Structure 1
Amino acid sequence: MADYEKKEHNAHHVSVGQALKSVTSLKSARESQVDPNGEYIENDVFGNEEGAQIKYRTLGWQFVSFFMIAEIVSNGMLSLPSSLAVVGIVPGVILILFLGIFATYTAVLLIDFKLNHPEVHNMGDAGMLIFGPIGREILSFGTIVFAICAAGSELLSGQQALTVLSNQGLCAVDLVIIFTAASFLLALPRTLDRLSWLGLASFVTIFLAGIVAMIGAGQSAVPGRVLSVSLPGDFYTSFLSITNPVFAYAGHFMFFPLVSEMHTPRDAYKSAYFLQGFATTFYVVFAVVCYCYIGNTVQSPVLFSLNEVWSKASFGIGLANFLVAAGLYSHTAAKLLFIRFFRGSRHLHEHTTWGWVCWVALVLLANIIACIFSIAVPVFSYIIGITAALFASWYTYGIAGFFWLFDAYHQGGGRQAWYRQPIKFGIALFTVLSGAFICVAGIYVSVKLIVVSYQEGLIGKPFTC
């Protein structure tokens, strides 16, 4: 009987030991799927990259901040002084400050959503979770279209800068093509860490370009200039001027791809706070200083209101930012399709011939389309306003409310989770409605602007110098 009990006791220890060994093995297997921040990455868009030839999750929050600033604080900043000339300095400053705070809040909601759903790489993936397959296609299409149009806008800014610097020595079409070629080469690296130092350079140059422009505004001060504290105006004129600060913050559609390539995604909050703190402060100072020196006659972009020397200096310094932003936008458009085609396949993480052929083709296609739009569509600058109203209004403002509503509902216990947090629930609804209002009003003023421009003969012809 004692021998039997001894065998039973030993057998019990063996079974417990095997169980503990199994648990330890399972734990080790799961820990091998953990990122540096301690979160499981088994559902991450890039999966477990241990041993991969091409690793995407390599960015720190500092360089993500520089990328965010490069693509948001760019040519849109140059139109802010003209907005103050239309609505007045007080309403203009209040609007810039409010939109900066609002954009910070929506950025936090977007990062919350990304951390809750590591498989989300872009707005299309988020649309799939919230709205299903139709939402995925609509938001994916919108992201690609807006990224390409934004790249085209940067190409036009680059063309303007090169035209000023060369004293109109080359045809505008040729300058756009030259800038497009540079943008294509810049966008070619498969991972953003290869562009990280260029992101830093872009941040530095747009900051210096703004400083130089403000000094130039002081040197180009208009005698007897008129400054307005507040100006009345009809809805069309007022909202048209408001679109400049509204869309100066429009870049949230790139946050998902950027956060996806961070080695510690939770640090994305630091990037968002750094971006919005810098952007809001710099926007207010830049707009007020330039407007106060030039007055209500300030042009858009403001660099055309400076004398030749300071205009060339500002354009020359800002040229690097325009180029990096164009490359980032075209890179993002190409990567959305590349991830869609090759997610989960070896072509994503290995140096395969097919993977590189497809990647180069997608980057080239994105840049070619942006180039053609910018030189072949006479109303392209107005179309940018329409695409911004259609998509940026949602990506930067409205859709963040849906993110909060979705996660609160599914993770907090249904509708009761909404009612338990009435303030957040109300802000989420306000965010959705704000996006809808900006979308509808933005489309209205953009379409009317095209009509008015045609009537006044301001629309040029395609492929003209």
Structure 2
Amino acid sequence: MHTSENPETKAVVDARRKDKEESSSMDEKLGNNTDTSGTHDFEAGKHEEASGGIFDGENGQSFRNMGRWDALFALLCNQFGLGVLGLPGALRDLGVIPGIIAIILIGCLSGYTGYELLQFHARYPHCVNVIDMVRVMGGRPWEIVAAIGLVIQLLMTCASTAVTLSVALNTLSEHGTCTVGFIGIACIACFLLCVPRTAKFIAYSGVPTVISIVIAALVVMISLGVSDPAKAPDGWDAKITVVASPSFRTIFNACLKIVFAFAGNITFPSFMAEMRNPVRDFPYALSGLITISITFYLTLAIAIYCLAGEYTTSPALGSAPIIPAKVAHGIVIPAVMTAGLGNGHIGVKYFFVQILRWLKRTDQVTSNSSFAWGLWLGCATVFWTLSFLISNVIPIFDSILSISSATTYAWFTYGISALLWFHLNRGRYFSGWKQITFTLVNVFLVGFSLLLNGAGLWSSVTEMLDLFKAGGVRGVSDCGDNAIF
């Protein structure tokens, strides 16, 4: 048995040791309950126990190689792209003031629940995804329910990516081919992006994502500043609603669009598992994500709505005059594709890790063996085939956003984090005024998730059915044109 340790592995093990020390310090500062009674932990395999996690690289390269900047760009890559395109429409429906308040509050709540995930990871660093965390908290039954929700959410997000890309390709080509074919092209392209197996590849895509979405937004805003929206009549003036009086259904659908824009939390634990020192570095990445997101979201939503008024569309790029809108759709393609990359990678990796755990071969997680690569590519093929099928069943961008937000995003962004906080703080909910405040906040988060589940699902499904009844919507697996113009 050789005892030599290569420098990369030694650095990872040292980082994990420091991570544990800092997690203990975090527990002391936060006053978290360190009693682990009632914890339903899964049985870790030999490799999972070896040096603190299955990504440490015992049988291959270490996947735990991300620092704070890598994490920030991975988070930006995952969150920017799809959700922001629906925000100007949310302001149109709610009015400027309620829309601004909703974006800020929902964004801050997402940041807080993201920090709760970090607290849980600091206590249970062997958890490599949010489903592992749910298993620790509630045992096998909760794990099954959460796993089904995870798969639904990631598939719906990737289906939305495919639909958005088909809209862009149809708009650019003036319906150059069957829309089902464009959706297929989008899914194949995203499949190829998911071939690399480390989260650091997602981080590399962060800069192109930000540049792409920012330039596309600038094209739309500048074009609207010098010309009217494509569908506006001659002599038109924008009608800006400061405080709207929307219907109950419209309010919920607008809020669901905002929830979708901040719904990257589901991927946070997976990124933490591939960081060298998440306890130290993830707070910086999370703070940067929330600050950049809220600032950019508000700027884009306010500017486009105030310039396009009642002709604001969702996705927002269609608000511009025809030629600038086509240019923007071409520029935004990298950002939309990387949204598929981020969510697709997490989905494929979940399948991959679970199968290896079932086979008791977690030593293959970081291996470059033909078996490991074959399994990874097989998981990616299954995942993107399912995304292709869903994107043809629900072919409307807004409906995919709203339905997925109502069914799963509410829980993975808010509800589950709140339940994890209750697990960490058992027996201490009312130990002081600060703890009582946090308890009330997390009770609100659970209630908010339940409300979005019930009323949100009703509003999004009925809206989709109304769109189908009104006609002009591409049917299931239909080659009809879904271009903006």
What TM-score does the superposition give when structure 1 sets the normalisation length? 0.87
Q: Verify: 1:216 aligned to 2:234, yes or no.
A: no
In structure 2, the residue matched to 1:103 is 110
Distance 1:247 1:190 in 2: 26
Give runs of ≥4 in structure 1 deviating > 4 Å. Answer: 30-33, 40-43, 376-381, 413-420
- Residue 250 (structure 1) aligned to one of 263, 278, 293: 263
Point out where structure 1 has 5 or more consecutive residues left out of the alignment: 1-29
Letter in 1 for 2:416: I
Residue 415 of structure 1, CA deviation: 5.3
Residue 375 of structure 1, CA deviation: 2.3
Taking the TM superposition and a 5 Å limit, the aligned residue runs for 1:172-321 are 172-221=179-228, 223-266=236-279, 267-321=281-335
Taking the TM superposition and a 5 Å limit, the aligned residue runs for 1:119-198 are 119-198=126-205
In structure 2, the residue matched to 1:45 is 53
Could you give the per-residue CA deviations for residues 238-295 of structure 1, whole angstroms, max 9, x where no partner exists? 2222221122111210111111111121211111111110110111111111111111
Distance 1:170 1:232 in 2: 41
Letter in 2 for 1:349: T
Distance 2:397 2:378 in 1: 24
* Secondary structure of the structure 2 residue equivalent to 1:65: helix
Which is further off, 159-168 or 453-462? 453-462
Instruction: Say whether the 8 Å CA contact 1:37–1:264 is kept in structure 2.
Output: no
Instruction: Say whether the 8 Å CA contact 1:189–1:195 is kept in structure 2.
Output: no
Distance 2:212 2:451 in 1: 34
Residue 340 of structure 1, CA deviation: 1.3
In structure 2, the residue matched to 1:82 is 89
* Secondary structure of the structure 2 residue equivalent to 1:421: helix
* Secondary structure of the structure 1 residue equivalent to 2:363: coil
Could you give the per-residue CA deviations for residues 48-95 of structure 1, whole angstroms, max 9, x where no partner exists? 43x542321111221221221222121211111111112211111111
Which is further off, 104-113 or 67-76? 67-76
Structure 1 residues 32 and 257, CA, compared in 2 at 3 Å: closer, same or farther?
closer
Structure 1 residues 31 and 88, CA, compared in 2 at 3 Å: closer, same or farther?
closer
* Secondary structure of the structure 2 residue equivalent to 1:196: helix
Instruction: Say whether the 8 Å CA contact 1:259–1:265 is kept in structure 2.
Output: yes
Could you give the per-residue CA deviations for residues 362-421 of structure 1, whole angstroms, max 9, x where no partner exists? 011111111122124456863553232121101111222112111112xxx555658772
Structure 1 residues 90 and 384, CA, compared in 2 at 3 Å: closer, same or farther?
closer
Structure 1 residues 460 and 418, CA, compared in 2 at 3 Å: closer, same or farther?
farther
In structure 1, the residue matched to 2:29 is none
Structure 1 residues 440 and 376, CA, compared in 2 at 3 Å: closer, same or farther?
closer
Which is further off, 364-373 or 215-224? 215-224
Structure 1 residues 290 and 414, CA, compared in 2 at 3 Å: closer, same or farther?
closer
Q: Verify: 1:394 aligned to 2:402, yes or no.
A: no
Instruction: Say whether the 8 Å CA contact 1:103–1:249 is kept in structure 2.
Output: yes
Aligned length: 432
Measured on the aligned residues, the alpha-carbon RMSD in Å equals: 2.3
Mark the structure with the bigger radius of gyration: 1
In structure 2, the residue matched to 1:16 is none
- Residue 374 (structure 2) aligned to one of 354, 357, 361: 357
Instruction: Say whether the 8 Å CA contact 1:43–1:118 is kept in structure 2.
Output: no
Structure 1 residues 134 and 365, CA, compared in 2 at 3 Å: closer, same or farther?
same
Instruction: Say whether the 8 Å CA contact 2:157–2:404 is kept in structure 1.
Output: no
Instruction: Say whether the 8 Å CA contact 2:164–2:336 is kept in structure 1.
Output: yes
Instruction: Say whether the 8 Å CA contact 1:55–1:191 is kept in structure 2.
Output: no
Which is further off, 355-364 or 212-221? 212-221
Q: Percent identity?
A: 24
Instruction: Say whether the 8 Å CA contact 2:128–2:270 is kept in structure 1.
Output: yes
In structure 1, the residue matched to 2:354 is 340
Structure 1 residues 91 and 361, CA, compared in 2 at 3 Å: closer, same or farther?
same
Distance 1:158 1:34 in 2: 43
Distance 2:248 2:394 in 1: 28
Distance 1:187 1:309 in 2: 32
Could you give the per-residue CA deviations for residues 332-351 of structure 1, whole angstroms, max 9, x where no partner exists? 11100111122463221322
Distance 1:85 1:31 in 2: 51
Structure 1 residues 118 and 36, CA, compared in 2 at 3 Å: closer, same or farther?
closer
Structure 1 residues 186 and 151, CA, compared in 2 at 3 Å: closer, same or farther?
same
